[in-house]
Amino acid sequence: MARTHEFRFSGNADFDFEIRTTIGQAFSGAADIGEVLAAVEGVGEKDHDGWFRAWLGLGDRIAAQADASATAGHAVSAASAYLRAASYYATALNAVASLPTEDELLPTFRKHRAAWDRWVDLVDHDIARVEIPYDDTTMPGYLFRAPGAAGESRPLLVVANGSDGALTSLWSSAVSGALRRGYHALVFDGPGQQSMLFERNVPFRPDWEAVLTPVLDFVRAQDGVDADRVALYGISQAGYWVPRALAFEHRFAAAIADPGVVDVSTSWTEHLPANMRTLLDEGQDEKFDRDMQLGMKFSHELASTWTFRARPYGTTGYAETMRAVLQYNVAEVAARITTPLLITDPEHEQFWPGQSEQLAALTPDVSTLVRFTEAEGADFHVQPLARALTEQRMFDWLDDRLGR
């Protein structure tokens, strides 16, 4: 049998990872493996437009099925299809990064969110749309209440997204498992994420305690929430958001970083030639920007990807962006964390290799490092094909920490 790190769904590593991520959501109902593999079959590893069109077309087809079921009064079938359509639109949204322009960005995002909202309206769960006070505005979110919890206080799991994830991925990575175990759950768009970025142009910020403290204040005030048992989960780049916030906000009962991220910038700087890093280190920003601009002229794909990845940081110049990203480092404050912290550590982590171990070493008194291996089919960033295993391990740990 082929080992997971040798088998590829696509010769393009990014395409392969997106396929794994999407079909990994099948166990929670957010994908159907056959329709995914059929949709991407034959897409060449350099055909970025074809890749986008495959996912957009799949989302459109499944959304049309959902509409037909809804019109005919088949609410369960419609809800299932809307959730899958939202997932496929989310993958199409990521594919915009390699297109020549961002013209498809907002239309695709709005299709994704419309399908998600139709699922929210039809699915047999207690879900409320909420607005979380933040600075002089609010952050949009969705509050899920555990089945059968009327009149009873339950623990709640705050679910924090990464850099470019969609709400459908949060349903699969944590929310569905939380509800089955009797937890309430909250998902939201924070600064630089989804609607906050695309529709309000609110960028990332490195000090995520300024985000998660008002989120915590909000959920602790909700009826039926056990204020002493609010936990926190962060996926992908939220493996930085979570420990950063915990260094300053100590009221969470327990937290999970999936995986641990100490220094966000390494996923950027490791791709820089040594001479470019020297220019940055020496403060020669004009030369850095000039050379980067020249290099981008030779690769439209690289230029598009840079624009897509840089956009959430609210910067313009290349050096300015790199200096902004360099601020996202938790090394100097991690020792302040007092909250019990579970850190996932997948084999073959491709974005922040070794950083889960680094975070555990910085927080030895409070952290538990859990390894995920190739032999379990659980390797690669956020264990895309082992989300059921991930769910089991993190909720068993969380139940123990919360005395459940």
Phi, psi torsion values for 238, nearest 5 degrees: -70, -10
The CATH 3.40.50.1820 portion of the chain extends over 125-264+328-401
Model confidence, pTM? 0.96
Tell me the CATH class for 125-264+328-401. alpha beta
Q: How many CA atoms lie within 13 A of 132 on its CB side?
A: 28
Per-residue tokens: 172:
């699969």
pLDDT in tens, the chain (404 residues): 344 456 899 999 999 999 999 999 999 999 999 999 999 999 999 999 999 999 999 999 999 999 999 999 999 999 999 999 999 999 999 999 999 889 999 999 999 999 999 999 999 999 999 999 999 999 999 999 999 988 789 999 999 999 989 999 999 999 999 999 999 999 999 999 999 999 999 999 999 999 999 999 999 999 999 999 999 999 999 999 999 999 999 999 999 999 999 999 999 998 889 999 999 999 999 999 999 999 898 887 788 888 889 999 999 899 999 999 999 999 999 999 999 999 999 999 999 999 999 999 999 999 999 999 999 999 999 999 999 999 999 999 999 999 98
The reported pLDDT for the residue numbered 2 is 41
pLDDT at residue 1, as a whole number: 36
Question: Exposed, middle or buried: residue 273 (CB in 10 Å: 0-12, 13-18, 19+)?
Answer: exposed
One-letter amino acid identity for 330?
Answer: V
Residue 250 has φ and ψ, to the nearest 5°, of -105, 10
**Secondary structure element (H or E) that encloses residue 126, with its range:** strand 126-134
* pLDDT at site 42: 94
Amino acid letter for position 214: P
pLDDT at residue 4, rounded to an integer: 47
User: Which residue ranges does the chain devote to CATH 1.20.1440.110?
Assistant: 13-120
According to CATH, what is the number of the domain 13-120?
1.20.1440.110
pLDDT of res. 349: 97
> Quick one: angle between helices 285-296 and 274-281, nearest 10?
150
Say how many C-beta atoms besides its own lie within 10 A of residue 151's C-beta: 7
Predicted confidence at residue 163, as pLDDT, reads: 92
